[in-house]
Homo-oligomer: A and B are copies of this chain.
């Protein structure tokens, strides 16, 4: 014997009013033909009973569960909560629930995570892919949030433009010698940011790139980045592709007695939670997660709800109307003019 749900169901309403459950379904969904009078009565009793439709029953019949899957990369990325929140909010507004699946930093587990979601019959999947992963063939609509230069990207922040914005800001303050700090050159996101930064270095300026993962391979994990020597070599702007690395740079410089922003400027990316409370407050670039989530969900929902007609979607990865959303520069206290001596 199946276990009865706590709430009421269509047949209960139908029995109470002496009509068929089909009529109740039609009345509540506005489909079919039901007299205005009866519709009103059905609405009223449904409200009285606190009726909520069984999404399971509906899912079985319609083949749509109303649930989206969200696949996230390595949890270490502190931007994750913001993205997850934005996706959940946008999905919820569109009438969808969000199942999470964690790829725990490994490509194999990412595939497992996707398969778990598909087994649960999600209507679509949003993937924030792990570094350089290609999305394998997936049997449902997929939205990819990575970077505009990634093939198959659905929507993402305009990381290149974000990189431009922060370097333009520093150039206008008078900086000419930049140390760009990245982590892993295999990341499309990081490459876009670095690329945008480089594109704005003026002809009389200079930019070096420090890749942290490479540096740590030779110097050991968590080792100093040797920034003090860079300061001595005349670098005045330390431009990181993440607040995490900016923070690392900032504390290393402070510890070495280099004053920020008086001696050098430090900037980050992503506006993570701590950026506003540290001293000095971190100048950074913020992505519009709400907008990105809205676009991704809208694109996904459009394909899902059109799917009734065309059985086979063209490709699994959906396209959005806008594929990139501008980033916004947030100026706080870690960026300022370089010391007088440095200005040529």
Asked if B78 and A279 make an inter-chain contact with CB atoms under 8 angstroms apart, the answer reads no
Asked if A56 and B52 make an inter-chain contact with CB atoms under 8 angstroms apart, the answer reads no
Given A88-B100, A102-B85, verify A59-B62 contact (CB < 8 Å). no
Tell me if A3 counts as interface (CB < 8 A to partner B): yes
Tell me if A211 counts as interface (CB < 8 A to partner B): no
Min CB distance, A91 to chain B, in Å?
Answer: 10
Min CB distance, A102 to chain B, in Å?
Answer: 5
Asked if A63 and B247 make an inter-chain contact with CB atoms under 8 angstroms apart, the answer reads no
**Among candidates B80, B254, B277, B307, residue contacting A222 with C-beta atoms closer than 8 Å:** B277
Tell me if A331 counts as interface (CB < 8 A to partner B): no
Q: Within the assembled complex, what's the spacing in Å between the Cα atoms of A307 and B82?
A: 36
Asked if A75 and B82 make an inter-chain contact with CB atoms under 8 angstroms apart, the answer reads yes
Min CB distance, A64 to chain B, in Å?
Answer: 7
Q: Mark A234-257, 1 if CB is under 8 A from B, else 0.
A: 000000000011011011101100
A–B Cβ pairs within 8 angstroms, 11 of them: A2-B60, A2-B61, A55-B119, A70-B100, A81-B81, A84-B84, A84-B102, A97-B120, A98-B99, A244-B273, A252-B279
Question: Which residues of chain A in 58-95 are interfacial with respect to chain B, using CB atoms and an 8 Å cutoff?
Answer: 59-67, 70, 75-78, 80-82, 84-85, 88-89, 92
Counting from the closest, the 7 A-B pairs by CB-CB distance are A3-B63, A254-B254, A251-B278, A252-B279, A251-B279, A75-B85, A75-B81
Q: Within the assembled complex, what's the spacing in Å between the Cα atoms of A5 and B118?
A: 11
CB-CB under 8 A from A188, the residues of chain B are none
Asked if A251 and B254 make an inter-chain contact with CB atoms under 8 angstroms apart, the answer reads yes
Question: Which residues of chain A in 243-298 are interfacial with respect to chain B, using CB atoms and an 8 Å cutoff?
Answer: 244-245, 247-248, 250-252, 254-255, 272-274, 276-281
Asked if B100 and A248 make an inter-chain contact with CB atoms under 8 angstroms apart, the answer reads no
Asked if A116 and B102 make an inter-chain contact with CB atoms under 8 angstroms apart, the answer reads no
Tell me if A15 counts as interface (CB < 8 A to partner B): no
Asked if A52 and B104 make an inter-chain contact with CB atoms under 8 angstroms apart, the answer reads no
CB-CB under 8 A from A54, the residues of chain B are 60, 121
Nearest opposing residue in chain B for A282, CB measure:
B251
Q: Mark A144-178, 1 if CB is under 8 A from B, else 0.
A: 00000000000000000000000000000000000
Nearest opposing residue in chain B for A82, CB measure:
B75
Tell me if A16 counts as interface (CB < 8 A to partner B): no
Q: Within the assembled complex, what's the spacing in Å between the Cα atoms of A224 and B81?
A: 27
Tell me if A57 counts as interface (CB < 8 A to partner B): yes
Question: Which residues of chain A in 2-17 are interfacial with respect to chain B, using CB atoms and an 8 Å cutoff?
Answer: 2-6
CB-CB under 8 A from A77, the residues of chain B are 81
Given A55-B119, A55-B120, A248-B279, verify A84-B99 contact (CB < 8 Å). no
Q: Within the assembled complex, what's the spacing in Å between the Cα atoms of A2 and B130?
A: 36
Q: Within the assembled complex, what's the spacing in Å between the Cα atoms of A120 and B4?
A: 15
Asked if B75 and A2 make an inter-chain contact with CB atoms under 8 angstroms apart, the answer reads no
Question: Which residues of chain A in 292-311 are interfacial with respect to chain B, using CB atoms and an 8 Å cutoff?
Answer: 307-308
Nearest opposing residue in chain B for A92, CB measure:
B116
Q: Within the assembled complex, what's the spacing in Å between the Cα atoms of A226 and B276?
A: 17
Asked if B89 and A102 make an inter-chain contact with CB atoms under 8 angstroms apart, the answer reads yes
